[in-house]
Structure 1
């Protein structure tokens, strides 16, 4: 059985607990037995117990009380202390600042920002006018690119221009699509074949030498062309690509790569794109720039 003083010390730390206060207050063995007898409702004759038996029953009651305290009371006390400690950890410091737990939670909040360049604003700042294509009813994307070119930009004349017997001059496309990479350009070239039966020029560096592209442009008719800004600009400068009959330069502006960058967001692309658009506008002022 624990020493009474040890019991008293632990209970004082706990604060108000009616059962433990009674236990520490020093109830005698006789009082414990009397209370037990009174609760049982036995008569006076049965209540007369020899002193030796009374002492033995008191010892048994105290042992039971100790067991109850260890098994039930200890768990309740531990739970109360744990709850008190948890509540204290959620409070703020005396200076009114959040504790370490609250600060840690605030650090976990992450705001994702979109650092994409405003393409229209960029071209406006460079003095490059754009065609307003807001009246195109369908959402921009690969699935609607053919409809955008064939049914919107070249409405009522696409069947003639994009046929195998197109009346255009060699090396003089009616529309050029500019993409951010050779892989993307190859994909777009496959898509725009659905515009008609005409040939589509592939004006990018992947697997194609500029000398070979120059030779083909000087001998073949390509109503549609797809390429990267750097290679298209090089072919424009060497005279193989002609823009006299060019109606539209279509910028592949809605596509994002694996890093969520558009054509204008890639640092190495931006100078070449701006240089190409300015060169086209200078050589053919009637050519319109579209961001799709």
Structure 2
């Protein structure tokens, strides 16, 4: 049997169907076309401002940190431009009280106070080491000739480093004369070797760091009773413009050294302190 031919929809019916479909799904078709169509390039550039906004607080913190670091560096610039002030006995007294204020009672702090009579004239920054020592120790030659006790010195010069100690020894040539000078620092020299040298020979002058001098006293290699002068390399500054007492480690060792018999000798006025 022959199948009946299907009639193609007329143009009028197609228009009716298109109108019906346009009423029901036309909006979906338009939205689909809008979604598949490539969006404008500007829509992808919206994120960078958001990212910049999120990163902004971190940049602010870093900038603040850099600003603080720059302010700290300016302290060195101020010190470099400011006029140096010579150290005074009051500076040493104040440093001692500040150092022990948290661990000592009021009565103990008063016991640390030294009489003015135990201090030599401070350097006014016009002296070389030799000229300063000649001024504060005018009878040095006589003292040197009468000194014959081993394991001791007549004068100790305390500084912050081995390099500085060598510089001081070279700069005191005009003062020391025939005096026997010994380096008292840890660099390249063992403490046992220094103890043996102090036992064998008479030494008049010792130049070194507080840590090594303290160790020699602990081991019995150096006695303080014959000591007459204790000079601090107070006013000299290193490349960072720090004085010896500005460095916490050295300041701690100096105060520990003072408590190993130096303070008691100062109070009996048998020992004099000087700030060079």
The alignment's TM-score, normalised by the length of structure 1, stands at 0.54
Unaligned runs of 5+ in 2: 1-66, 80-84, 101-111
Structure that is richer in helix per residue: 2
Check if 1:188 corresponds to 2:168. Answer: yes
User: What pairs with 1:1-292 in structure 2 (closer than 5 Å)?
Assistant: 112=75, 118-123=91-96, 125=98, 127=112, 129=114, 131-134=118-121, 139-140=124-125, 144-149=128-133, 151-155=134-138, 157-162=139-144, 166-195=146-175, 196-281=177-262, 284-285=265-266, 286-292=270-276
Unaligned runs of 5+ in 1: 1-106
The answer as to whether partners of 2:151 and 2:198 remain within 8 angstroms in 1 is yes
Aligned length: 177
The answer as to whether partners of 1:145 and 1:192 remain within 8 angstroms in 2 is yes
Deviation at 1:120, TM superposition (A): 4.4
The answer as to whether partners of 2:119 and 2:273 remain within 8 angstroms in 1 is no
CA spacing shift, 1:278–1:140, aligned 2, 3 Å: farther
Larger-Rg structure: 1
Q: Which runs of 4+ in 1 moved over 6 A?
A: none
CA spacing shift, 1:215–1:132, aligned 2, 3 Å: closer
Q: Distance in 2 between matches of 1:259 and 1:154?
A: 32
Root-mean-square deviation (CA, aligned residues, Å) is 2.8
Deviation at 1:257, TM superposition (A): 0.3
Q: Which has the higher contact order (CA 8 A, sep 6+)?
A: 2
